[in-house]
Structure 1
Amino acid sequence: MSVETYRTDEEQIEVLKNWWQENGKSIALGIVVAIGLVFGWQGWQKQQDTRSAEAAATYQSLLEADAAVENDSTKLSSAKHFADTLKAEFDGSTYAVFGAMYKAKYAALESDWQTAEQELTWVVEQKPEAPLLLQAKVRLAHVLLAQKRYEDAQQALAGTALGSYAALIGETRGDIYLAQGDKAAALAAYKEAKAELGKLENASPNPLLDMKIRDLESSSEDGADTE
């Protein structure tokens, strides 16, 4: 029976009093829980904002230290520290991926190919956004190439959604073929890379790629002349 069925205001008030005595505690508890959830969410959001700001500040410090390394090698230890911090303290974020990419860079500078490979493999496993993923794969291929692991280097580039990275990936494939001594395959890969580069709007010239093509074409012509 609803409250509206009672004939007098006094009866309605009495019913409301009884209802509150029976249900008031649970309602009050629900209100407290709801308020707690709101403040809990706000606290979590504030914590995330603080964490993001800290990550951004650390990344900026990394960029500054990395830029200084070119003129002052003593800055390398600072750059390494910031890269380590990004990966260790901001796991699950894009900043951690950036940290790993720079850790790989510094390892490669010291010819520590194993560490560079581990860091780049970790990045690939995180499946970041396409640009970062493709950068990591290309760098991983170069690290494997430095170790003369040619098949692994080619495999690192397999299954990629090429997009704007098609030219870079094609050139990298050419480098691998050339290191293996397969000049014909290298020349074909370089020419494919140049064709992909030509498809891009406002693409910057790649004089090194042009030089590679000229050298292989010249080598091919010289070989034909001696036959």
Structure 2
Amino acid sequence: MAQHFDLEEQEQLDQLKHFWNKWGTPITGALIVVLGGFAAWNGYQYWQARQSTQAAALADAVTQAVEGRQLDRVGQALVDLKGSYAGTQQAAQAGLLAAKAYADAGQWDQAKETLTWVADKGSDNGLQSLARVRLASVLIEQKQPDAALQQLSASFPAEFTAVAADRRGDALAQQDKKTQAVAEYQKAYKAFDSQTDYRRLVEFKLNALGVQVQPQTSPTEAKL
């Protein structure tokens, strides 16, 4: 009986050897690929977390520098963010904050450069759109309506439709294109909620161009 089991065990071992000789290499290769991919994914996740943490630290440095009105430190922190963490959301947010600080200080060229970077390199569509709208405002302030309209010709998410139309109206008015400006202001007026202060500003601009608007509900209110 013991000999029978020995023969049966030997036969199973021979079958296993045969199977492994035939399929061992493909199986090993597949395991290497799977395990290698798993290790790479874990490594990528770790790298992303590390990038995010370091970018957040630099973004915090920008925030502190802005609050302390130390624009030279703002610039240095931005250089580091642009150099190593340009694709992070923290970098885009810090860029928007820095650009506002530059604009508040009347440093329009620095504001324009920073907003251009966020608009071109930002990884978040919403932050990019916000940067383009603000960049258009800076360009209008610098009496560059053509460049502003170029920025505003981009595709914007729905939530930016109204403010982008208002900015286009400003640029067209600066070009003395009254009819086109009125058309854009009217788009903005219709898109803004009636309770929004911004809508009253658009109404004032229309009045200044000799256009009286009729009170009406916004698209949001019409659905209620």
Question: So what's the TM-score if we normalise by structure 1?
Answer: 0.66
Letter of the 2:184 counterpart: A
Post-superposition offset of 1:90: 0.9
Q: Unaligned 5+ residue runs, structure 1?
A: 1-5, 219-227
Letter of the 2:202 counterpart: L
Post-superposition offset of 1:115: 4.2
Return closer, same or farther for 1:18/1:189 CA change in 2, 3 Å cut-off.
Answer: closer
Sequence identity of aligned pairs in percent?
Answer: 28
**2:200 matched to 1:205?**
no
Post-superposition offset of 1:157: 0.7
**2:45 matched to 1:45?**
yes
Post-superposition offset of 1:215: 3.2
- Select 2:114's aligned residue among 98, 116, 119: 119
Which residue in the other structure is 1:168 paired with? Answer: 163
CA RMSD of aligned residues (A): 3.8
Partner deviation per Cα, 1:177-207 (whole Å, 9 max, x = no partner):
33233445434432331111138xxx53224
Which residue in the other structure is 1:133 paired with? Answer: 128
Return closer, same or farther for 1:211/1:110 CA change in 2, 3 Å cut-off.
Answer: same
Post-superposition offset of 1:158: 1.0
> 1-side partners of 2:179 and 2:33: how far apart?
71
Q: Is this contact kept in 1: 2:89–2:122, CA < 8 A?
A: no
Return closer, same or farther for 1:65/1:118 CA change in 2, 3 Å cut-off.
Answer: closer
> 2-side partners of 1:46 and 1:150: how far apart?
45
Q: Unaligned 5+ residue runs, structure 2?
A: 1-5, 212-224
**How many residues are matched?**
205
Alignment of 1:1-20 (within 5 A): 8-13=8-13, 16=16
Which residue in the other structure is 1:225 paired with? Answer: none
Which residue in the other structure is 2:209 paired with? Answer: 216
Q: Give SS of 1:62's match.
A: helix
Partner deviation per Cα, 1:107-151 (whole Å, 9 max, x = no partner):
444555444434333333336443222212212222222332222
Q: Is this contact kept in 1: 2:116–2:135, CA < 8 A?
A: yes
Which structure ranks higher in relative contact order (CA pairs < 8 Å, sequence separation ≥ 6)?
A: 2
Question: So what's the TM-score if we normalise by structure 2?
Answer: 0.67
Post-superposition offset of 1:166: 1.9
**2:187 matched to 1:195?**
no
